[in-house]
Amino acid sequence: MFEFISSLNPALVISLVLALVFVLTFEFINGFHDTANAVATVIYTNAMPSHIAVIASGICNFLGVLLGGVGVAYAIVHLLPVELLINANATYGLVMVFSLLSAAIIWNLGTWYLGIPASSSHTLIGSILGVGLGNALISDIAVADGVNWQKAIDIAISLVASPLAGFLVAGLVLLGLKWLRQHSKMHFKPDQRLQADGKKHPPFWSRVTLIASSMGLSFVHGSNDGQKGIGLLMLVLIGIVPAQFVLDLDSSTYQIERTRDAAEHLLQFYQRHDDSLGEYLSLGKNGNTEMPKQFRCDPAMTGPTIAALLNDLKGVTDYKQMAPEVRPQVRRYLLCLDDTAKKVGKLSSLDSKEKADLDKLRKDLAATTEYAPTWVIFAVALALGIGTMVGWKRVVLTVGEKIGRQGMTYAQGMSAQITATAAIGLATAYGLPVSTTHVLSSGVAGTMVANKSGLQFDTVRNILIAWVLTLPVTIGLAAGLFWISVQLFV
C-alpha cells in the first residue's frame, strides 16, 4: 500500500508525513469543533449520557466518511483553478497545502476556545480561496482567474441558503409539532420535566427521535465534512507523489475504456454543434491542430487536447502499465477537458437535453481522476471520529442555553436536528459542502423564535460576527502565509 514511499528522497518523505499530519489534525479539530453541534441537543436534553453520545457520534461520523463518496471532496478541490491543479510541482503543492491548513487550524482553534460555533466549512473554503488569490498575485495573473469563481459562487449559495432554510424549516417543524400535540410533554424543557414528573430523561418517543436524529446528523456530518479532508489529502498526495496518485491505478479496463470513449464522444458532440461552438473551441479547419510544447488549458486547444489524450490512452488496459511520466499528462488533459466542458455547458446555445448529455460525458471523463484510496478514507474517518470524542463541552452549552433566552425544549431539539440532518444529507447528495454548525445553530434559533422564547442577542451577534469574519480572515491569513512561504521556499 505504501510502496511508493521507497522511491522518494528523505526530504520528500518528511514533507509528505508532515502534510498528512496537518490534514488529519484539521479533521481531528473539525471533529471536536463541529460535531459538538450534532450531540448538543441529546446531551442538553439528557436523552443520552454525554460520554455515550460522543462515542456514538464518533462512530456515526466514521461511518459517514466511509460511505459518503467523494463528490464533496472534489467540489472543494476544484475551487482552485485548473491551471494551478495541473501545473503545481511538489514544493509548490506543499506550500499551498501547509498555508491553507495553517490558516484553517488557527481560526478553528480560536473560535473553539471562545465557544463560538464557527464553521469549519467556511474556514476551509476561505483558506482555499486565499491560496488561489495569493497564487494569482504572485504569478501576475488576473484575480478573476485566480479562483474557480463559478464553483465558489455555487458553494457560497449553498453555505448562505442552508442556514436560512434551517432557520425557517426548523421553526415550521416546531409549529407543526405544537399544532399536532400542543400539550405534549415533548414541549417541556429538561428542568420542567424533572419538576413535573421527577424524571431526568425525555418522554420515550421524544428521546428516541432525539437520539436517532442526532446520530443521523453525525452520519451526514461525516459524509459531508469528512470529504473535505479526503479532498485535502488527495491534493497532498497528487502534489508530492503525482505518478502514484494523479490517476486511480486500480481502475478496471472497463473504467479506462469509459474514459477513452467519453473523450471520443465529447469530440463528436462538439463537432455536431460546430455551428455554435466551432469558434469558441477552434474546431474548424483553421483551428489549432497541434499541442504546444508547454501545455496550457485553453478552450481553443480542445481538439489537440482530445487527440493527445486518445493517443496516450491508445491500447491502455491498465494504468499501472503506463509510463509514470505520462500519467500526470493524462490527468492534465482530463482536468482541462472537464473544465472546458463545464464552461461549454453554461453557454446559452445548448438546450437542457444537450447540457445533460454533456454532464454525463464529464462524469465519465472524471471517473478515474476523482477517487480516493481506501486508506485515505479510513485515515480521515478515524481522525474525524476520534476528534468527535474530545472538546465538545464548550459548544454544547452555547447551542443548548445561549442562543435562546430560555433553555431548549425536547421538541425544539428534535425540530432543529431533523431539519439539519435533511439539509446536510441533500447537500451531500448534490456534492455541495455546507456548514453543520450554521445549519444547526440557525435551526435552533428558528425554533426559539417560533416558540416565542426570544434570542440571546449577545450569542447570536457573536455567531454572526464569526460567520461574517470567517471568510475574509481566513482568505487574508492563507494568502499571507502562502506569499511568505513562496518567498522562503520556492
Determine the pLDDT at residue 286. 46
Task: List, in sequence order, every residue forming a beta bridge with 32; answer none if it has no partner.
Answer: none
Contact by Cβ (8 Å): 96, 235: yes
CB 220 within 8 A of CB 421: yes
Arithmetic mean of pLDDT, 191-218: 86
Closest C-alpha to 396, from 48, 147, 94: 48
Mean pLDDT across the chain? 82
Whether residue 207 contacts residue 200, with contact meaning beta carbons closer than 8 Å, is answered with: no
Residue 284: its pLDDT value, please? 58
The alpha carbons of the chain give a radius of gyration, in whole angstroms, of 24
Half-sphere exposure of 156 (CA within 13 A, CB side): 12
φ/ψ of 454, rounded to 5, equals 80, 165
C-alpha cell, 235: 491534493
Count the Cβ atoms, other than its own, within 10 Å of residue 4: 15
| pLDDT confidence of residue 477 | 93
Predicted confidence at residue 330, as pLDDT, reads 92
What pLDDT, on a 0 to 100 scale, did the predictor assign at position 248?
93
The model's pLDDT over 7-66, given as tens digits with 9 standing for 90+, comes to 677 877 888 888 888 888 888 887 776 666 777 778 878 888 878 888 888 889 889 888
Q: Give phi and psi for 38, each to the nearest 5.
A: -70, -25
Helix ranges restricted to H, 187-252: 190-197, 204-240, 242-245
111-132 average pLDDT score: 79
Helices (H) and strands (E) in the chain, counts: 21, 0
In this predicted structure, which of 396-410, 416-430, 442-456 has the lowest mean pLDDT?
396-410
pLDDT at residue 247, as a whole number:
92
Across residues 105-127, what is the average pLDDT? 78
> What is the DSSP secondary structure assignment for residue 185, as one 8-state letter?
G
Q: Per DSSP, what are the bridge partners of residue 404?
A: 455
Q: Identify the DSSP state of 317.
A: S
Question: Each residue of 183-201: pLDDT tens digit?
Answer: 678 888 777 887 878 788 8
- Residue 342: is its pLDDT beyond 70? yes
Strand partners, 455: 404
- Indicate whether 391 pLDDT > 70: no
Q: What is the pTM of this model?
A: 0.80
- Residue % of the chain over a pLDDT of 70: 87
For residues 206-214, give the mean pLDDT.
91
pLDDT at res. 33: 66
The model's pLDDT over 426-455, given as tens digits with 9 standing for 90+, comes to 888 887 778 777 788 888 888 888 887 667
Pairwise CA distance, residues 288 & 459, whole Å:
60
| pLDDT of residue 1 exceeding 60 | no
- Identity of the residue numbered 376: V
Please determine, for residue 287, whether its predicted confidence score (pLDDT) is greater than 60.
Answer: no
> Which grid cell is 197?
414528573
Query: Nearest-CA neighbor of 80 among 27, 145, 23, 141?
Result: 145
Give buried/exposed letters for 308-332 (b at 16+ CB in 10 A, else e): bbeebbeebeebeebeeeebbbbbb
Q: CB within 8 A of 316, min separation 6: which ones?
A: 256, 260, 322
- The mean per-residue pLDDT over the stretch 335-339 comes to 89
Q: What's the average model confidence in pLDDT over 408-437?
A: 85
Query: What integer is the mean pLDDT of 362-389?
Result: 88
- pLDDT for 351 beyond 90: no
User: Cα–Cα distance between 334 and 18 in angstroms, integer?
Assistant: 29
Closest by CA position to 412, among listed 108, 157, 154, 192: 192
**Stretch 314-322: mean pLDDT, rounded?**
92
DSSP-derived letter for residue 249 is: T
Per-residue H/E/C for 282-311: CCCCCCCCCCCCCCCCCHHHHHHHHHHHHH
pLDDT digits (tens, 9 = 90+) for 164-178: 888 899 999 999 988
What is the model's pLDDT at position 291?
A: 66
Rounded CA separation 23/435 (Å): 18
User: What gap in Å lies between CA 213 and CA 219, rounded to an integer?
Assistant: 10
Closest CA to 380 of 52, 61, 12, 14: 61
* Gap between the Cα atoms of 196 and 191, Å rounded: 9
Q: Minimal CA–CA distance to 433: which of 169, 127, 57?
A: 127
What percent of the chain lies above the pLDDT cut of 90?
A: 17
Q: In the prediction, which pLDDT does 257 show? A: 94
Distance from C-alpha of 323 to C-alpha of 242, rounded to nearest angstrom = 12
Q: How far is CA 278 from the centre of its chain?
A: 35
What is the predicted pLDDT for the residue at 254? 93
435 neighbors 162 (Cβ within 8 angstroms): yes
